[in-house]
Amino acid sequence: MKVLIVDADETFRNHLAERLTRRGLTIQATGDADEGRAIACQEKMNAILVGLSSPKQALLSFLREIRHDCPENALILINHSGDVPLSIEAMKYGASDEVGAPVDLEELLRKIDAASS
């Protein structure tokens, strides 16, 4: 399974990538939205994990553009702050699910599997 992580928090992003790689997933990770968009549209990903640590407008713009440019990719939010209104708004922009941080790896793997089915 191929997963893209787009999260501004480098330490979090790298740690999550390492944990998912150990579970047999193929991971690409970036902290840059433009790079994430390019990767997502060039390669078919089973899921794109998007961190909510980015500024609100940048996050919503990224979700809208991914949903428009490469709609075949499933989007899963990683909510670092527990910001429920932002989560709801992000879901309106095309995210299919969300997980809280710190990430429960088993829960995330189930959501990735469900999103890619």
CA 55/CA 82 separation, integer angstroms: 14
Give the pLDDT confidence of 17-34 residue by residue, as tens digits: 999 999 999 999 999 988
Give the pLDDT confidence of 43-98 residue by residue, as tens digits: 889 999 998 666 677 888 888 899 898 888 899 999 887 778 878 888 888 888 99
Per the document, the length of the chain is 117
pLDDT for 53 equals 65
Q: Which domains does the chain have, with CATH numbers?
A: 1-80 (3.40.50.2300)
CA 45/CA 54 separation, integer angstroms: 21
In this prediction the pTM is 0.92
Measured from the Cβ of residue 46, the count of other Cβ atoms closer than 10 Å reads 17
